[in-house]
Amino acid sequence: MTDTVGAYRTAVNPLRCDVIEELDWPSSYTGAEGAYVTADGDQRYLDMIAEFGAAVLGHRHPRVVRALSDALHGGSPFIVPIGVPALAGELAQRLCELAGGRIERAYFCTGGSEAVENAMKFAVAASGGRSEFVSFEGGYHGLTPGPLALAGHDYWRTPLPGWSPPGRHRVPFGDVAAVERVLAGREVAAVLVEPVQGIGGARPWPDDALRSLAERCAAHGTLLICDEVLTGLGRTGSWFAFQQAGIDPDIVVTSKALSGGVVPVAAVLMSRAVHESVYASPAAATVHSSTFEGHLLGMAAGLAVLEVLAEQDLLARAASLGERLRSGLEELKGARAVTGVRGRGLLLAFQVAGIDAPDDPDGAGTCMDLLMSRGVLVYQAAHDPTWLKLTPPLTLTDAQADEFLGAVRDSLADLSAYHED
């Protein structure tokens, strides 16, 4: 049998293996079904991470598995060099309907970073060649060069110290006046915003601030790109999180939930005007493309996920279950070590006080380990590891939500012993 970890250590990333070993985290997964994963033999975990939020229907949802099996065994090629890929038009139409407003076209690719990279290219074209961008502290848009330059935290530039492409402006989270100052003095192609920051720790933009951001962009001829790689397709209780503020962005990027995490796929959704700035004439009809664009498996999974989300009314479920979890966590505030709860729908985070200093992430880290020892997986928000982040499947049951809350309660009780030592 292959030594999964040994091979990974040899040929992929030895340091990652060292860290996992030192922290005594599970390393080798053998099962994933519904809201649970199994690792290192028979250790079962309630998975409140759910593939970084991609497993929106839980692991191996039968409808998605069936759609993929049909596509695998069906007649169409997976990639279509001459002609149009099967199912891509249907999925694009559906996504554009769901996004609404001015969104009329979709471009498909294979992951969040690539989608943001593409959105930046479309924005430069649509703004008549402007090349500057604004993004926000705490934001995260991926790690290929385009999105990396817009990261809201310097950690991600560790391998490239001092690397900073010109014309990239990072402004404080939620500070529309600061955006206005940049837009007034520069030729900015687009502002990139996560309506609810994910890696920033489930931090939502206030609706009125998002509306005034959209207004300022429109006033300066700057495009607004909503990065919904994590929030898109139901997680926050609406199809897209921007819809809760009633804004009408030029470009929307979405990925994780699109295939339920089963196939790497992403979509750049955009207005007709943005699209036509790239595909400007018949001679330029294929000027932007990629080998895996519209890959059959991604399209099949996407259509199945959208059907299940709608049929099972999982957007409403995300909202109501989010409230149940939020109020359960709120009850643990105060005497316990929980110092904050925030987020929207099923993108939530709770903050845990440090053991010796209130803002030390060791409290959250210890709480994460205590939860793991009780068979529950959560993760620390990379940009502020005092927050523990939750991105569970939208199919989580009430009983599973209560199982999670019970484990948090018990872990916090254990943690209080550390605080008292």
Ligand X SMILES: Cc1ncc(COP(=O)(O)O)c(C=O)c1O
Where on the chain is the footprint of ligand X (CB under 6 A)? 52, 111-113, 116, 140-142, 194, 198-199, 227, 229-230, 255
Q: Name the residue nearer to ligand X (CB basis): 86 or 270.
A: 270
Residue 396: Cβ-neighbour burial (10 angstroms; 0-12, 13-18, 19+): buried
Least gap, CB of 116 to ligand X (angstroms): 6
Q: Name the residue nearer to ligand X (CB basis): 257 or 338.
A: 257
Least gap, CB of 385 to ligand X (angstroms): 16
Q: Name the residue nearer to ligand X (CB basis): 213 or 332.
A: 213
Least gap, CB of 147 to ligand X (angstroms): 6
Both structure tokens of 276: 């036509």
Q: Name the residue nearer to ligand X (CB basis): 113 or 236.
A: 113
Q: Where are the beta strands (DSSP E) in 92-222?
A: 103-109, 132-136, 168-171, 188-193, 196-197, 203-204
Rounded to whole angstroms, how far apart are CA atoms 73 and 266? 23
Least gap, CB of 380 to ligand X (angstroms): 14
| Range 89-127 burial, b when 16+ CB lie within 10 A, else e | eebbebbbebbebbbbbbbbbbbbbbbbbbbbbbbbbbb
Q: Name the residue nearer to ligand X (CB basis): 142 or 174.
A: 142
- Closest residue to ligand X: CB criterion: 112
Q: Residue 278 CB: number of other CB atoms within 10 A?
A: 18
Q: Name the residue nearer to ligand X (CB basis): 198 or 365.
A: 198
Q: Name the residue nearer to ligand X (CB basis): 105 or 141.
A: 141
Least gap, CB of 369 to ligand X (angstroms): 23
Rounded to whole angstroms, how far apart are CA atoms 313 and 321? 12
Rounded to whole angstroms, how far apart are CA atoms 144 and 117? 8
Amino acid occupying residue 183: L
Least gap, CB of 372 to ligand X (angstroms): 21
Rounded to whole angstroms, how far apart are CA atoms 128 and 205? 29
Under 8 Å CB-to-CB from 247, ≥6 apart: which residues?
210, 211, 213, 214, 224, 226
Both structure tokens of 31: 């099962």
Least gap, CB of 201 to ligand X (angstroms): 12
Q: What would you report as the CA-atom Rg of the chain, rounded to the nearest whole angstrom? A: 22
Under 8 Å CB-to-CB from 318, ≥6 apart: which residues?
234, 235, 236, 237, 345, 346, 394
Least gap, CB of 95 to ligand X (angstroms): 17
Contact (Cβ atoms closer than 8 angstroms) between residue 111 and residue 165: no
Least gap, CB of 184 to ligand X (angstroms): 27
Q: Name the residue nearer to ligand X (CB basis): 113 or 411.
A: 113
Amino acid occupying residue 195: P
Q: Name the residue nearer to ligand X (CB basis): 86 or 381.
A: 381
Q: Name the residue nearer to ligand X (CB basis): 8 or 52.
A: 52
Least gap, CB of 365 to ligand X (angstroms): 20
Nearest by Cα to 171 from 162, 157, 183, 163: 183
Least gap, CB of 247 to ligand X (angstroms): 17
Rounded to whole angstroms, how far apart are CA atoms 250 and 123? 9
Q: Name the residue nearer to ligand X (CB basis): 67 or 229.
A: 229
| Range 222-245 burial, b when 16+ CB lie within 10 A, else e | bbbbbbbbbbbbbbbbbbbbbbbb
Amino acid occupying residue 85: P
